[in-house]
C-alpha cells in the first residue's frame, strides 16, 4: 500500500480543528483510496470546494483520515480525460468515511460520444471489529471475483466478492504479510500487525488486470 505523506492529513486536520474550536463544531474524517485507472495525470480530491492536496494522487495511493467539519461534505474527484465524479458524505464526529473513485465506461448517445465517468463508492464504519479480519471490496468491472488468501499452514481459502459488495475472511496470522491471489494473478500481500479490519480494495489497473490496495481500520466497514 502506498500512503500519502501524513503531514498533509495532519495539517488539514489541524486547520479543521482550529475552525471547530472557533465555531464550536466537531470533526470527522474522510479517507481516499485511488482506484481510478483511466485518465491522465494525477487525481485531485476536493472537499467542500478545497483541493486538499494540490500535488495530486497517483493510482494506488491511500490516505489517512483527512479532517473535516462534521456534517454534509461535498466530495469532488477530478482527473484529466475522465468526467469528474461527485458525491456527498454525511461526516460523523470522530468517524472515518472511505471514498473509492473508479471509472465506468458510458456508451455513446446521440448527444455525446462514449466516455469514462468517475463513480465513487463509499465505505462507512459500523461496529468495532474483534480479531484480525480481511474485508474485501471490489470496484473491478468484473461482476464477481474469486479471491484466495493463503493460510499459515500453506493452504488457500477462497472468498467470492461481488462488484460493489464486501466479503470477509478471518486471518490466522499474528503478524507478517498475507499472500493473496485472483486466479494466477498475484495481489499485493496484506501487512498484518495488531487486531482490526484489514480492508482490501480490488480494482482494475491500467492494463485491465486485477490489482489491490489495502489499509487497516479499527471498525467493521460496509459499502454504500
First and final C-alpha spacing in the chain: 23
Binned at pLDDT 50, 70 and 90, residue 100 comes out as very high
Whether domain 129-224 has CATH 2.60.40.2890: the reply is yes
Domain ranges of the chain: 1-126, 129-224
Could you count the other beta carbons within 10 Å of the beta carbon of residue 221?
21
pLDDT computed for residue 10 by the predictor:
44
Binned at pLDDT 50, 70 and 90, residue 8 comes out as very low
pLDDT at position 31 over 90: yes
pLDDT computed for residue 70 by the predictor:
95
The dihedral through the CA atoms of 70, 42, 78, 164 has a sign that is: negative
pLDDT at position 16 over 60: no
155-174 pLDDT tens trace: 999 999 999 999 999 998 88
pLDDT computed for residue 18 by the predictor:
45
Are 140 and 119 in contact by the 8 Å Cβ rule? The answer is no
pLDDT computed for residue 20 by the predictor:
42
The residue ranking higher by pLDDT, 143 or 20, is 143
pLDDT at position 3 over 60: no
Are 62 and 129 in contact by the 8 Å Cβ rule? The answer is no
pLDDT computed for residue 224 by the predictor:
67
Amino acid at each position: 500500500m502506498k500512503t500519502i505523506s501524513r503531514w498533509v492529513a495532519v495539517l488539514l486536520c489541524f486547520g479543521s480543528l482550529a475552525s471547530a474550536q472557533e465555531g464550536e463544531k466537531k470533526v470527522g474524517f474522510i479517507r481516499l483510496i485511488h482506484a481510478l485507472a483511466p485518465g491522465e495525470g494525477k487525481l485531485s480530491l476536493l472537499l467542500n470546494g478545497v483541493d486538499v492536496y494540490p500535488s495530486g494522487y497517483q493510482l494506488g495511493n491511500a490516505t489517512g483520515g483527512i479532517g473535516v467539519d462534521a456534517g454534509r461534505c461535498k466530495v469532488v474527484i477530478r482527473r484529466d480525460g475522465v468526467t469528474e465524479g461527485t458525491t456527498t458524505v454525511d461526516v460523523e464526529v470522530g468517524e472515518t468515511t472511505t471514498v473509492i473513485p473508479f471509472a465506468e465506461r458510458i456508451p455513446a448517445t446521440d448527444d455525446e460520444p462514449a466516455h469514462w465517468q468517475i463513480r465513487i463508492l463509499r465505505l462507512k464504519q459500523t461496529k468495532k471489529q474483534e480479531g484480525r479480519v480481511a474485508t474485501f471490496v471490489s470496484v473491478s468491472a468484473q461482476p464477481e471475483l474469486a479471491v484466495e488468501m493463503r493460510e499459515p499452514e500453506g493452504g488457500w481459502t477462497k472468498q467470492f466478492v461481488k462488484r460493489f459488495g464486501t466479503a470477509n475472511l478471518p486471518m490466522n496470522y499474528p503478524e507478517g504479510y498475507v499472500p493473496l491471489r485472483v486466479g494466477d494473478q498475484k495481489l499485493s500481500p496484506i501487512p498484518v500487525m495488531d487486531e482490526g479490519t484489514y480492508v482490501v480494495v480490488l480494482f482494475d489497473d491500467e492494463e485491465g488486470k486485477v490489482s489491490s490496495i489495502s489499509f487497516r481500520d479499527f471498525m467493521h466497514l460496509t459499502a454504500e
